[in-house]
Amino acid sequence: MADTAEIGVFGGSGFYSLLDDVREIKVDTPYGPPSDSLFLADVAGRKVAFLPRHGRRHTIPPHKINYRANVWAMKSLGVKAAISPCAAGSLQLGVKPGDFVVCDQFVDRTSGRPHTFYDGPIVTHLSSAETYDPVLRQLAIETIRDHGIEVHERGTVVVIEGPRFSTKSESKWFSDAGWEVINMTQYPEAWLCRELGIAVVNISLITDYDAGVHEGTEAVNATDVLEVFQANAARIQAVVLDLIGRFPADLAALGAGAALGPTRGDGHIIAAEDIRLFETGL
């Protein structure tokens, strides 16, 4: 029987290490190898694929992740909805380390990352106004709240190139803009999911205040980030696994695939032989 999954999770080995009957598979893509093997398991009666975005030993820095291969690999298994949890910094004093944020917007401040599947010859323009799925976001909010965790129901994540952290001036700029969260991996990961018709939801686990921009807070460093993340790892794992069981039975009804229909942007009449990427089934 072919290896398949309906839900994908981008995250470390902690999400599947305690599950039974986990199968490791290799997936090839036209964009090269993904960050690691994919790990398949049943969770709450759903077929789930887990992929460590940085590799299982966290050896791939954010600017070197092969995001297109990762998302393509998920889609090739049949994934229709994905959870994209991440560690992130806070840009606002009210968003505290240990809080969770269910982001609804992103701002791209990366540079040079391959960030689209649509390189022609059929020109494709897809709206990014609502990249994060509203139904999955509401389910995530309810799940986090049920676990007794402080949750911010919306937030804008500004995605920086990394691997360096922000300067104080950059951090102040982002904070003054009113954005709440800063991270190095949400773009283009979440966007590429949308390009292939995968509904996606982000849960940001806040580990620090970025660059010490707020009075009385220290500038972020990698050791402190890791310490806070490890202290909260069990909480994010429990939330993600619980959330999977709350996903709608009909994932296609979320509409991520249907949103790709009116995206042809080259002005030509659509002919029968013009098969676009998302219509191939990969």
In the predicted structure, residue 152 carries a pLDDT above the cut 60:
yes
Give the span between the Cα atoms of 192 and 131, in whole angstroms.
10
Asked if residue 56 is part of any domain, the answer here is no
Contact 10, 83 (CB under 8 A): yes
CB-CB contact of 206 with 97 (8 Å): yes
Residue 211 maps to a domain: yes
Degrees, nearest 5: CA angle 151-193-3:
105
In the predicted model, what is the mean pLDDT of residues 185-191? 98
Catalytic residue check, 210:
yes
Model pLDDT, residue 215: 66
Question: Of 36, 99, 133, 208, which is the active-site residue?
Answer: 208
- Cα–Cα distance for residue pair 239/192, rounded to 1 Å: 24
**3-state SS class at 210:** helix
With CA atoms as reference, report the closest residue to 16 among 237, 245, 234. Answer: 237
* 246 domain residue, yes or no: yes
pLDDT tens string 201-256? 999 999 999 977 766 677 777 777 777 777 778 899 999 999 999 999 999 999 99
pLDDT band at 281; cut points 50, 70, 90:
confident
Residue 231 lies in a domain: yes
119 is catalytic: no
Looking up residue 116, the CATH number of its domain turns out to be: 3.40.50.1580
> How high is the pLDDT of residue 195?
97
Number of domains in the chain: 1
Question: What is the distance in angstroms between the CA of the first residue and the CA of the last residue of the chain?
Answer: 18
Give the Cα separation of 155 and 80 in Å (integer). 24
**pTM (2 decimals)?**
0.93
Averaged pLDDT for residues 147-160:
98
Q: Which domain holds residue 275?
A: 85-279
Judged against a pLDDT cut of 90, whether residue 28 lies above it is answered with yes
DSSP H or E run through 166: none
Query: Among residues 99, 104, 133, 210, which one is catalytic?
Result: 210
Per mean pLDDT, which range of 5-14, 177-186, 225-234, 258-267 is the poorest? 225-234
Give me the pLDDT at residue 237, please: 94
* Residue 221: DSSP 8-state: -
Residue 192 domain-assigned (yes or no): yes
Q: What is the residue-averaged pLDDT of the chain?
A: 93
